[in-house]
Structure 1
Amino acid sequence: MRIDLIEQYQIHPHIAYLALADGRVEISLPLSSKRLRVASNIAFIIKGFSPTLIQAKEAFIHPLGLQVFATLVKYMFILPADEIGFLSSGVSVAVKYPAGCPMDFYGIDDLIERDVVLLHAPLSTSITTDLSVAGGGRRVRSHLAQMLAHPNGLKSRPGVLLDADFGESLALKQLRLFDLGDIVFQPTKDNVDTVGKRVSYLIQKITSQGAYPVILGGDHTLAYYSIQALSHNYPKLGVMQFDAHSDLYSVGAACDEQLNHANVMHWVRRMQHVQSLWQIGIRDVFHQPTEGFTLQKAPRIQTLSAYEAETAGYARMYAALNPNVPWFISFDVDVLAGSEPPDTATPVLGGLNFYSILSCFEYLFSHYRIIGMEFVEIGDAAQGAHGASAVVARLISRFLFSLRQTTAIGQNLYIPGDNVNSFS
């Protein structure tokens, strides 16, 4: 448990207390649905801790007992001292229409290997474009939720998910897709780093269970927090970046030293656990200043341009990918052909066509260990059935199918009536 690794803690600064008729006390936190009922003497001890004082864990364990202390840590009434800045306001909030089973972050400990956990991070470092990408991930969730919903709105009834493109059937009870909701973001209080650290915290917990995160952005700055978080459970990692841009831009100005969505891969390439970075679909043309710069080889970075992918295919990349390391997919929707506003804020001529990228993902899912994905730079505005958010939802659906036991549809057909047989 985390309490074995962390030595210093603080009491949550905003615990609320409610005396109950049976003599116990209910304690609760802001932006949290979790409420605990504790004995009045336990509440008295908790109240005695100063919210501003950092203390060794023994200072809490001695009066509370190990079991109570562990429970209060699990539900964030007591926080690791170095994480209180981004955890004290909560981590994620539930959404009205989740994709899959709704889950709060207290339930992460119940995940099992190969579960898939969806979360949305409204992270953005750009304020210069007319189109925001901070909340575009919600469009993807909406597509997924509609895909999974019972046609009559009866969520509790059994059913299967049919994929006509691939002739496959997947029982919804086997789906094991969980939705953590939206990362907490308080515009007047939080900055990019605060939101990013919440993302990292959740990814570390999800991957510690052997589960796979699917993160919806937000802009591509998200990659710094998600890929860095993976180092805790994947000391060797490959990254596949699908993108129209390299996100390795350097212009010789102060912004080069500031993490943002245009330079985030400079930060990623320096991460020790990242063994290889493949950039797929690159097609940008731009002016690179040379004065004050040094041209260096970057052997860990490989490129498959959009032109090569669409004219010669992906075979060169497949042959070079190391099947012995886990891979994380970082997907910027401007890699897609036809991605224009409102799909994304940074469109580029050309790109990867839908079935080309779908076929690529099918190969990756079947030949390599994909341990998570992120999808970024999705426009907040409404999109049509062919929009980037619909494409992303489709790619996620294939990830879910690839992880489960599916059944071939064949010539079988569901016919109304009580004597309907399952697919053979």
Structure 2
Amino acid sequence: MADMVDTVFVTVPGLRIIDRGETISVANLAAGTEKSFHRDIVELLEFFARPRPLHEWFGRAQAQARDVPTAIRHALLVAADQLLTQTAAAIGGPLTLSKLLEPGSKPDIVLFGAPTDVASSGRGGARAGPSEIRRHAQVPFAAPSAAAGKDRVCLDFEMRRSYAASLPSVGDLGDVAGLVGEGIASYGPRLSLLSEILLSQGCVPAMLGGDHSCTAFAIEAHLRHWPALGILHFDAHHDLWPPAGAQFHYVTHANVFHRALARPNLRVLRQFGLRTFETAAAASLHHDPRVDYVSARELRQLSTDAVFAGLPRDIPYYLSFDIDCIDPIHAPETGTPLPGGISYHQALDLVDAAAQRFRLVGWDIVEVGQSERATNGAALCAAGLLRRLLLAGVPFDPLASYTRRTTGPAEGATGRTAPTATSVPSLEPADHA
């Protein structure tokens, strides 16, 4: 154990703990381990509910060291960095959990992937979402080398903006590791734990899914952290189906927000892009004043002000974007596509408006699937949304000049007169008011 005393450990979330009187039975069902301990094991597990170096436990006068090797051997305590697998295509600076927990400055935004689709009911493939989004993402401003170029600016032609101000620092923890055959019931609590850790460090957690069930666990962490929270949900489906029978804690990608509504500190849930047709038992319907929606058809007709009208500005928001909100002509690689979705540019404008108007304290992009082609349309759309969310709240100037100066012979050095610049049309956008 001597070589591990400085290693950061954490209790695996979601353990099954049974009080058997004189002993406590602790099981990690996903790993297939179970062990009986003396009752003081509970203190050990509670102590490491938040990641800590092992020496902090051994430094306690009343600490019992005998259970630590057993808890590690049975995968009840794990090194915090083992919760994640690093990616070669990190967005921003590659980051480990133990490094994040060290004293010092933290990234403004921390990305992590949730490569699972075990709770989806449509076409599979969302487990590849994190890698597909990273593969298609172009976010040079997030790279560590960008901080060294103090005189550099980012030219955003799509939004006609120039970013020269201090840009956000971004770290990428990689993907939350899963076990073969593991269900969302044991995988999800690790997403919740990671979100809680990032919030405690003052970072904005940003999750790349994965199917939409992952969002339920991230939102749980936010609802525990914030006294009040609003949710902005972009999707073709409402994802409010109740679990079957009395299984309140049974999570799928179709009941993501059902559990959140049980929390009184959820102030508002506004959904954008809905376009399903379904039946329901009349007796099961009830009005919750916190919930409303803007359909995909209405999004094409309403102004941005009308879309976000009535949402309180005095609370933080979590934004969740299911890529099937966008029409499958633009984003076909998703599990449950529906025709009639919004366009890519509508999605950019709405997410950009949300990022400018509200304080986004966490967000996710989910349900991006695999592609049989080299280019993944859904991942490209997700990459554009990712840039908008990473730049939330960053000041910008209108993009006016973008031609580069060239070096070459001075005017007249070759005996020729330098060409006279011709006039070009104005780059100012037309007024369509």
Q: TM-score range by the shorter chain?
A: 0.7 to 0.9
Aligned pairs for 1:399-414 (under 5 A) are 399-406=389-396, 408-414=398-404
Map Cα deviations across residues 37-80 of structure 1 (whole Å, 9 max, x no partner).
Answer: xxxxxxxxxxxxx99561646xx9xxxxx99317999xxx979x
Distance in 2 separating the partners of 1:56 and 1:255? 30
Query: Does residue 100 of structure 2 align to residue 108 of structure 1?
Result: yes
Counterpart in 1 of 2:367? 377
Aligned pairs for 1:7-406 (under 5 A) are 25=3, 54=41, 56=43, 68-69=55-56, 85=76, 87=78, 90-109=82-101, 115-126=108-119, 129-144=122-137, 146-148=138-140, 158=149, 160-170=153-163, 174-188=167-181, 190-250=182-242, 258-290=250-282, 293-338=283-328, 343-381=333-371, 387-406=377-396
Q: Is the 8 A contact 1:328 1:370 kept in 2?
A: yes
Distance in 2 separating the partners of 1:362 and 1:115? 18
Map Cα deviations across residues 303-328 of structure 1 (whole Å, 9 max, x no partner).
Answer: 11111111223433322110000111
Structure 1 unmatched ranges of 5 or more: 1-16, 18-23, 33-49, 61-65, 419-424
Structure 1 residues 149 and 142: alpha-carbon distance in aligned structure 2, compared to 1, 3 A threshold: farther
Distance in 2 separating the partners of 1:314 and 1:157? 37
Q: Is the 8 A contact 1:119 1:179 kept in 2?
A: yes
Distance in 1 separating the partners of 2:395 and 2:331? 38
1:29: Cα distance to partner? 7.6
Q: Report percent identity of matched pairs.
A: 24
1:296: Cα distance to partner? 1.3
Q: What TM-score, normalized to structure 1?
A: 0.73
Matched AA of 1:218: G
1:161: Cα distance to partner? 3.1
Higher mean C-alpha deviation, range 273-282 or range 167-176: 167-176
Matched AA of 2:388: R
Matched AA of 2:129: G
Structure 2 unmatched ranges of 5 or more: 11-34, 48-52, 61-66, 409-433
1:389: Cα distance to partner? 1.5
Distance in 1 separating the partners of 2:59 and 2:78? 14
1:104: Cα distance to partner? 0.6
Q: Is the 8 A contact 1:122 1:183 kept in 2?
A: yes
Q: Determine helix, strand or coil for the equivalent of 1:266.
A: coil
1:378: Cα distance to partner? 1.1
Higher mean C-alpha deviation, range 87-96 or range 215-224: 87-96
Q: What TM-score, normalized to structure 2?
A: 0.72
Map Cα deviations across residues 321-348 of structure 1 (whole Å, 9 max, x no partner).
Answer: 1000011101111110125885101001
The count of residues paired between Structure 1 and Structure 2 equals 364
Structure 1 residues 251 and 222: alpha-carbon distance in aligned structure 2, compared to 1, 3 A threshold: closer
Structure 1 residues 92 and 150: alpha-carbon distance in aligned structure 2, compared to 1, 3 A threshold: closer
Q: Is the 8 A contact 1:203 1:226 kept in 2?
A: yes
Structure 1 residues 72 and 171: alpha-carbon distance in aligned structure 2, compared to 1, 3 A threshold: farther
Structure 1 residues 67 and 398: alpha-carbon distance in aligned structure 2, compared to 1, 3 A threshold: same
Q: Determine helix, strand or coil for the equivalent of 1:181.
A: strand
Distance in 2 separating the partners of 1:381 and 1:184? 22
- Aligned CA RMSD, in angstroms, stands at 4.1
Q: Determine helix, strand or coil for the equivalent of 1:264.
A: coil
Q: Is the 8 A contact 1:136 1:380 kept in 2?
A: yes
Structure 1 residues 355 and 257: alpha-carbon distance in aligned structure 2, compared to 1, 3 A threshold: same
Distance in 2 separating the partners of 1:318 and 1:113? 32
Q: Is the 8 A contact 1:333 1:339 kept in 2?
A: no
1:99: Cα distance to partner? 0.8
Matched AA of 2:344: F
Q: Is the 8 A contact 1:240 1:279 kept in 2?
A: yes
Distance in 1 separating the partners of 2:203 and 2:8? 28
Q: Is the 8 A contact 1:248 1:263 kept in 2?
A: yes
Matched AA of 1:212: V
Larger Rg: 2
Matched AA of 1:356: Q
Higher mean C-alpha deviation, range 85-94 or range 317-326: 85-94
Higher mean C-alpha deviation, range 204-213 or range 403-412: 403-412
Distance in 2 separating the partners of 1:308 and 1:201? 37
Q: Is the 8 A contact 1:217 1:375 kept in 2?
A: yes
Distance in 1 separating the partners of 2:306 and 2:9? 49
Matched AA of 2:250: Q
Q: Is the 8 A contact 1:199 1:226 kept in 2?
A: yes
Map Cα deviations across residues 233-273 of structure 1 (whole Å, 9 max, x no partner).
Answer: 21200001101001122596687873211122211211222
Matched AA of 1:360: L
Q: Is the 8 A contact 1:282 1:335 kept in 2?
A: yes
